[in-house]
Chains A and B, each alone.
Chain A
């Protein structure tokens, strides 16, 4: 068995892993290795050939592959070690990593590890859509890979369940490929993805949008032949008598993403049941010392730009840890989601370091105020669960936190 000691191991070479590895190297870690199971760097960005990437981070409008290229080139320039087509089979709390590739098994002993495995798509089985199990039912991301990377079209008549961003983007993409998108069906009374995608991908192409509807049956034995959709009530239960059948040869599901933490569990990393990702500190360190995490493995982001920024924090933290630069554990203040706050990342902060908080609301709201303990308030016109809220806390604001405070509640309240 080939064994190797390294400073920082980064698991996953999507936007999170690339940004984290680059930052770790720049912060002084010498031996940084990225381990990636696919044949190339960049992760899912390669199949995201649409634009809208980098508006925040680069202040430019890039496609997914263009966005990826900037990081890939930088990683190459920095001579970061890349292990492609390499699957991590095991990760321990002692940061021993076993990988498999065509060259055989190898073991890395890393001083610090960054989890950057991203997320996977929820499937039709997980949301328990009744009906048969024919060919022609895909998650939107899998269909996106077929269309944009492999060069194949899944069908002619498409129904899309769920109005997540990938679902809406695929509605446009398949329309441009000559398929007919018969319907985008969303169980909530509002769109699940970004407003710009609702406008540019659905409305601009006159694709029928069914809000407060869901698919109640999948029909077809060999290949899907139709779906039944129905209106839902306030409890998201189908209303009898509102069913209609739509003939189709393809159903795409865009019904949520799940952080991919099977490896994290192997290493004993504690997961937040709400985000599905690790509990993290303000350096993006998990419950296991020296194991950091960034991007969609922690919580599902709306924008790749946020994934990048957050993973840079993880990269810097991991480099410090690997170089023994971490200061002894100082204050840890827990952040608690109060009124209409579903979750906050990171879960704990110190009082001595600027931090960006990412959070989501539970319910849409208008004319609201975000309040972070006694240290921060901000008024917002509209909030939606699908759009992440970001708040920067400066040292000055953090300085207002009382000496004895162990927990701060964050709320999103209606303005009076």
Chain B
């Protein structure tokens, strides 16, 4: 078979796992192609709907306790666990990682509140558990009495009797920002990306493999499967596997920025099986409610909200922040997460048993925190399998984000507009996103409305693109030089406005005649 493309490594999936690996590989003189069936990096699947929390310490303790639901017999904290090591390393590397990539983040105080004596006891045992581990990392929590709680969170219910809080062990990012930034940086360092490219099969040949895709075959030596919620499907193409995927989902809700004063910290209740934080203020100033239970979906496509689910989540959050109102909801979405069925506590980071040049990277949540150590481990595995790792002398770890007009001072704004007047033209009025930012996003690779939205925030505000939607579609068509009817929401098969004016009438006339 004649391959149009030839490379050393094909990475399947442009989420956080795939893009981190792509960027780490670009430190070496390695030829690699990232393929993704979606339209843009990080704008779908697990990455898009991840919480974006990078944490250790107090919240990590709670997640250790929560996991006991999945694996009741395992020790709460296993210092020898590969997953735990990567989580700790990942947190410690994160600030530098994000700063090199110019990915915005903010630090949040973690607060775990108790509303009765039983919950106070749960907090006490949380402290004891943290101390028992024997490192400062997990012993940073401090007590706040009810007065201090209401000083820290003035809109908190007066039912709170005490809380644990800790500072410095939680950063919040927008998860897709990381994938987008790494894709840009990897591309800048020579990695190729193919979007709208679905992998349909893998053929093993003598000394090489063929990745069959909807855009044609790619000849490669190595393959890394970072296909997220489809990692099992892709793994089957590479060879045998002794693991499967299990899914859980939750339903985060985003509130209008008007309400951002309602919460300052990342607010939690004592660990409850299958539940996340109550709510927190996002990097962009929205309140995000995550309270809802993690539930088992019908299948991996079950990404719709169930009747009653939304209001139930809001009511739960309202118990803690009574001023939360359904009137302030601007968006809800389903977060779909995977576990593997062989060991729900661990990640699958291993070569396929029947195909050593096909490496599976099925990462469970949390997937962003350990992404960098996992990617470095994957690079090492590729090296061990025979990939030559010669340092790329031209590697540049720094990527500069598109100017964020909304965050600039008046003089910086004027300077930017003087350089490019399109930065003075606000297109998305809810989030104050300019035409300059949108055009630059497209120049850097955004190709769909969702792509533009995730890079710039245009359409993420309270009107959800009602006003800027047609304008963004127009700019995409103009910049990509395609008809408006071919502008997609998020990838092939999702056109926004598929027909031109009078087209249906002409069609009907033809059929009639």
Give the B-binding residues of A (Cβ under 8 A).
1, 37, 85, 87, 89, 98, 100-105, 120-121, 123, 125-126, 128, 130-135, 138-139, 141-142, 145-147, 149-156, 177-179, 216-219, 221-223, 238, 249, 262, 265
The B313-366 residues at the A interface (CB cut-off 8 A) are: 326-327, 329-333
A300 nearest CB across to chain B (Å): 15
Most chain A beta-carbon contacts within 10 A, residue among B329, B501, B505, B508:
B501
Are B333 and A133 touching (Cβ within 8 A)? yes
A132, A141, A178, A249 interface centre (most CB from chain B within 10 Å)? A178
B403 on the A face (CB < 8 A): no
A1-B410, A135-B488 are known; give 5 further A-B pairs, CB within 8 A: A153-B501, A178-B502, A178-B505, A216-B307, A223-B495
- CB nearest to A152 among chain B residues: B497
B424 pairs with A151, CB closer than 8 A: no
CB atoms of B426 and A179 under 8 A apart: no
Instruction: Identify 29 residue pairs between A and B in the complex whose beta-carbon atoms are under 8 Å apart, listed by A's number.
Output: A85-B425, A100-B417, A100-B424, A100-B426, A101-B425, A103-B417, A105-B413, A120-B463, A120-B466, A123-B466, A125-B331, A126-B329, A126-B330, A128-B329, A130-B304, A130-B305, A131-B305, A133-B333, A145-B470, A146-B497, A152-B484, A152-B485, A152-B499, A153-B498, A177-B505, A178-B507, A179-B504, A222-B490, A222-B494
Task: Tell me whether A135 and B311 are in contact in the complex, defined as CB-CB below 8 angstroms, given that A37-B429, A150-B484, A152-B501 are known contacts.
Answer: no
Q: State the B residues within 8 Å of A (CB).
A: 258, 301, 303-311, 326-327, 329-333, 410, 413-414, 417-418, 421-422, 424-426, 429-430, 432, 434, 462-467, 469-470, 474, 484-485, 488-505, 507-508
Contacting A102 at CB < 8 Å: which of B331, B422, B497?
B422
In the complex, residue of chain B having the shortest beta-carbon distance to the beta carbon of A103:
B424
Assess whether B466 is in contact with A139, with CB atoms less than 8 Å apart. Answer: yes
B332 touches A128 (CB 8 A): yes
The interface residues of chain B lying within 8 Å CB-to-CB of A139 are 466
In the complex, are the beta carbons of A141 and B466 less than 8 A apart? Answer: yes
Chain A hits for B463, CB < 8 A: 120-121, 123
**Which residue of B is nearest A230, CB measured?**
B307
Residues on A with C-beta less than 8 A from B462 are 120
A residues near B484, Cβ cutoff 8 Å: 150, 152
Tell me, in angstroms, the Cα distance from A156 to B88 when the chains sit together.
53
CA distance A100 to B435 in the complex (A): 12
User: Could you tell me if A221 and B429 are in contact, using CB atoms closer than 8 angstroms?
Assistant: no
On chain A, the residues within 8 Å of B503 by CB distance are: 153, 178
Of all chain B residues, the one with the shortest Cβ separation from A1 is B410
In contact, B490 and A135 (Cβ under 8 angstroms) = yes
A188 CB → nearest B CB, Å: 19
**Cβ–Cβ < 8 Å partners of A131 in chain B:** 304-305
- CB closest residue in chain A, given B421: A102
Contact yes or no, A1 B414, CB < 8 A: yes
| Known contacts A105-B414, A126-B329, A153-B500, A218 near B304 by CB under 8 Å | yes
Q: Is the CB of A156 within 8 A of B504?
A: yes
Selected contact of A104 from candidates B418, B432, B465, CB within 8 Å: B418
- Determine the distance from Cα of A154 to Cα of B473 in the docked complex, in whole angstroms: 13
* A223 & B424 in contact (Cβ 8 Å cutoff): no
Query: What separation, in Å, do the CA atoms of A218 and B310 have in the docked complex?
Result: 15
Note all chain B residues with C-beta closer than 8 A to A121: 463, 466
Whether A262 contacts B310 in the complex (CB less than 8 A), given A126-B330, A222-B490, comes out as no
Asked if residues A123 and B501 are in contact (CB atoms below 8 Å), the reply is no
**Smallest CB–CB gap between A61 and chain B, Å?**
25
A residues near B304, Cβ cutoff 8 Å: 130-133, 217-219
Contact residues in A for B491 (Cβ distance below 8 Å): 222
Give chain B residues whose Cβ lies under 8 Å from the Cβ of A147: 501
CB distance from B436 to the nearest CB of A (A): 10
Which A residues touch B465, using CB under 8 A? 142
Residues of B within 8 A of A123 (CB): 330, 463-464, 466
Q: Which residues of A contact B311 (CB under 8 A)?
A: 128
Assess the A177–B495 pair: CB atoms within 8 A: no
Please name all residues of chain A whose beta carbon is closer than 8 Å to the beta carbon of B421 when the two chains form the complex: 102-103
Q: Contact at B494–A134, with CB atoms within 8 Å?
A: yes
Within 8 Å CB of A156, what residues of B? 499, 504
B424 cross-chain contacts in A, Cβ below 8 A: 100-105
